[in-house]
Amino acid sequence: MPDVTDPEPADDRSREPTHAHHDHDHDHDHDHDHDHNLPSGIALRVRALETLMVEKGLVDPAALDAIIDTYETRVGPRNGAQVVARAWTDPAFLTRLRLDATAAIAELGHGGRQGEHMRVVENTPDVHNLVVCTLCSCYPWAVLGLPPAWYKSSAYRARAVIAPREVLANFGVDVPASTEVRVWDSTAEIRYLVLPERPAGTEGWSEDALATLVTRDSMIGVARLAAPEGPPA
């Protein structure tokens, strides 16, 4: 994970109704520290408990494997990539996505748990969007799969709000001073998906080819998509 250490508590007093924070100074006194990263000792105890429950027939290992497979492969960033690629290639879909992201995403068969209330925010040359959950780790599982460990860390959750440009720089994203940075705070009521800018040099690419360029991090807002080195394979 990029270095986002030395966090300060985040603040929710200046939130706009859309849960957006702009990159100006905040007076922060918000102190929620629900770090979900499990220490190795706890992780080992969880695994031991899981093994015991399987041995006693209380849990079906095949069911556990199916759940893991769902969120790691079938429900994962490739779903979000499909949404992004469709928005790039279908203006009518983009319009519906802007008006009702949840319904538009459902058109592609993606929805359900952690994706019931979605909003898409678009990156442009003038605006760069960054998503965080300051309270815990609310995340759009239906389109991005399982959240990365750094997204759940208290450091990222605090620094993304109070110093978004520094956080982006730690991820290797240099946002020009002329570009506004908007920070969106996901909650149990609403989750955000960043629509990254379409890379240059992809004119005429198919939706499937475009989807291969889209990364999880670009849909959180901590990465930009580079122009491809050549035509799609």
Mean pLDDT score of the chain, rounded to an integer?
82
Place of tokens 């922060």: 28
Distances (CA, A) of 33 to 134, 180, 194, 219: 9, 28, 25, 24
Catalytic residue among 137, 154, 186, 218: 137
Residue 148, pLDDT above cutoff 70: yes
Catalytic residue among 14, 40, 138, 186: 138
Catalytic residue among 40, 136, 153, 218: 136
Q: Which of 3-7, 22-26, 216-220 has the largest mean confidence?
A: 216-220
Which positions ≥6 away from 76 have C-beta within 8 Å? 144, 145, 146
Residue 15, pLDDT above cutoff 50: no
Catalytic residue among 14, 133, 206, 218: 133
Task: Tell me which fold the domain 20-25+32-37+77-220 belongs to.
Answer: Nitrile Hydratase; Chain A (3.90.330)
Q: What is the pLDDT of residue 42?
A: 64
Tens of pLDDT, residues 104-145: 999 998 876 655 789 999 999 999 999 999 988 889 988 998
Tens of pLDDT, residues 174-188: 999 999 999 999 988
5-9, 16-20, 173-177: lowest mean pLDDT where? 5-9
Q: In a 10 Å sphere around its CB, with 0-12 CB exposed, 13-18 middle and 19+ buried, how is residue 93 labelled?
A: middle
Structure tokens at 201: 């040099």
Q: Is 154 a catalytic residue?
A: no
Domain residue spans in the chain? 20-25+32-37+77-220
**SS3 at position 131:** strand
